[in-house]
Amino acid sequence: MFSRWLLIITLLVPVSACAQTSKDVDINAILASAHSLYKMDKTGANADYIPALAEVDSELFGIALVTTDGKVYSYGDVEQRFSIQSISKVFTLALALEQQGADTVAEKVGVNASGMPFNSIIAIELNQARSINPLVNAGAMATMSLLDGNETTKWQRVASWYNEFANAKLPVLDAVYQSETETNDRNLAIAQLLKAHQRFYGDVAMNLDLYTRQCSIGVTAKDLAIMTAPLANNGKHPITNKQLMSEDNVEHLLAVMSTAGLYETSGDWAYKVGLPAKSGVGGGIIAVAPGQFSIAVFSPRLDSAGNSVRAQKAIDYIAEKLGANVF
Ligand code: GLN
C-alpha cells in the first residue's frame, strides 16, 4: 500500500513542480534567445567619468521580466549587483509626484524633454522657463531638493520608498558613492546654476549628496524588474499587492519616461521600440509594457548617449517578440 502511494507521489511531484503554461515557456525562451543573440556584441564602453564604473566587468549581461500577475522570469547575470544610477530618477520622481503633487512637479521642476545629454548645462541656459526634465541630472537634483525633510528624514523616506518597490532592502554601493562624490564637480555646477535661477529648493551640497547616494544604490537586474513592475500595473505592486502610486501619477511618470528616458536618443527609442524606459550609466535599462510586464536588462557597455548597448538590443528584441509596442 505504502509503495503504491509512494509511486503516485513520485509521479505527480515532478509534473506539478515543473507545470508551466505555454506562455511561461515562451517568455523563458525569448529571454534566452535575446541573451544568446547579443552576448557577443562588444560595441560601446563602460562609463568612466565615474572611475568605479570603469572597473565593472563589461561582459556581465542579465535580463529579468516581471508580468503584471507577478511572475518573475530571468536569464543570465541577474543576481549581479550594480549601481542604479539614472534609473533612480524614475523612483524619486515617483515619490515627488505622490508627495508634492503632479502640478507642483511640472511647475517647479518641469517635465519637457530637453533632447540634450543627461549632464547638459546648456539645456538650462537655453530654456527661458528653466523647465528642466526630472530624468536628466539637473531635473533629478531639483526633484530631490523638492522633497520634504532634512538630510536624515529625506534619505530615510527615499530609501524606504525604493525598498517598497524592490520588495527588498537595497544597499548603497559605497565604492561607487565615494568615486562619484570625488568627481562630482559638473553636477555641483548644474545644481548651483539652478539655484541662481531660483529653480533649486534647498541646500545645494546636501541635495547633491542625497542625489549621489540615490544613484549609488545597488540593484540586480531582478530587483530592477521587480521595482518597475508597479509601473506596468497602474501603481499596484503585483508581488506585494500594495498600491504604491495613484494611477494618474503612473500616467505622468510613463509620459516623462517615453519622452526623456534615454536622453537625446529618446525619440529614436520610441520610434523603434515604443516602450516607456529609463537608462542608467551603470549599464541598466528598465522598460514598461503597461498592463503586461516590466523588464530590466543590465550590461555595462554604453553607447555615446550613455545607454547600455546590449540592454537596448535585448529589450527591442523581447518587446517585438511579445508584441509590446504601446504605439
Ligand atoms: N550619477 C550619474 C550622474 O549624475 C547618473 C547619470 C546617468 O546614469 N546617466 O552623472
Residue-range domain boundaries for the chain: 2-321
Decide if 263 contacts 305 (C-beta within 8 A). yes
Whether pLDDT at 5 is above 50: no
Hey, what's the cell of 83?
A: 549601481
Confidence of residue 203 (pLDDT cuts 50, 70, 90): very high
CA 85 – ligand 1 centroid, Å = 5
Q: Can you tell me the mean pLDDT for 234-254?
A: 98
Q: Can you tell me the mean pLDDT for 39-62?
A: 97
Which CATH superfamily includes the segment(s) 2-321?
DD-peptidase/beta-lactamase superfamily (3.40.710.10)
Supply the pLDDT for residue 2.
41
Supply the pLDDT for residue 130.
80
CA 142 – ligand 1 centroid, Å = 14
Q: Can you tell me the mean pLDDT for 75-91?
A: 98
- Residue 136 Cα: closest atom of ligand 1: 9
Whether pLDDT at 6 is above 70: no
CA 94 – ligand 1 centroid, Å = 18
Q: Can you tell me the mean pLDDT for 77-105?
A: 98
Supply the pLDDT for residue 59.
98
For residue 40, count other CB atoms closer than 10 A to its CB.
Answer: 8
Q: Can you tell me the mean pLDDT for 22-48?
A: 91
Supply the pLDDT for residue 22.
52
CA 281 – ligand 1 centroid, Å = 6
Ligand 1, atom 6, lies closest to the CA of 86
Whether pLDDT at 100 is above 80: yes
Supply the pLDDT for residue 8.
42
Q: Can you tell me the mean pLDDT for 297-312?
A: 98
Confidence of residue 17 (pLDDT cuts 50, 70, 90): very low
CA 2 – ligand 1 centroid, Å = 63
Q: Can you tell me the mean pLDDT for 232-243?
A: 98
How far apart CA 195 and CA 163 sit, in angstroms, is: 30
Supply the pLDDT for residue 3.
45
CA 130 – ligand 1 centroid, Å = 20
How far apart CA 274 and CA 266 sit, in angstroms, is: 10
Mean pLDDT of the chain: 93
How far apart CA 72 and CA 91 sit, in angstroms, is: 20
Look at strands 62-67 and 277-279 and give their pairing.
Answer: unpaired
Whether pLDDT at 242 is above 90: yes
Residue 284 near ligand 1, beta carbon < 6 Å? no
Q: Mutate which of 49, 83, 86 to test ligand 1's pocket (most atoms within 8 Å of Cβ)?
A: 86
- Residue 215 Cα: closest atom of ligand 1: 1
Supply the pLDDT for residue 115.
87
Choice among 64-73, 80-89, 131-140, 252-261 with the minimum mean pLDDT: 131-140
Q: Can you tell me the mean pLDDT for 237-262?
A: 98
At residue 107, the 3 state secondary structure works out as helix
Confidence of residue 99 (pLDDT cuts 50, 70, 90): very high
Q: Can you tell me the mean pLDDT for 126-153?
A: 93
> Residue 272's closest CA among 310, 327, 311?
327
Q: What percent of the chain has pLDDT over 90?
A: 87
Residue 230's identity, in one-letter code, is: P
Whether pLDDT at 77 is above 70: yes
Whether pLDDT at 182 is above 90: yes
Supply the pLDDT for residue 23.
54
Whether pLDDT at 62 is above 50: yes
Residue 180 near ligand 1, beta carbon < 6 Å? yes
At residue 1, the 3 state secondary structure works out as coil
For residue 57, count other CB atoms closer than 10 A to its CB.
Answer: 11
Residue 85 near ligand 1, beta carbon < 6 Å? yes
Supply the pLDDT for residue 258.
97
Confidence of residue 126 (pLDDT cuts 50, 70, 90): confident
Confidence of residue 32 (pLDDT cuts 50, 70, 90): very high
Q: Can you tell me the mean pLDDT for 119-140?
A: 89
Whether pLDDT at 233 is above 60: yes
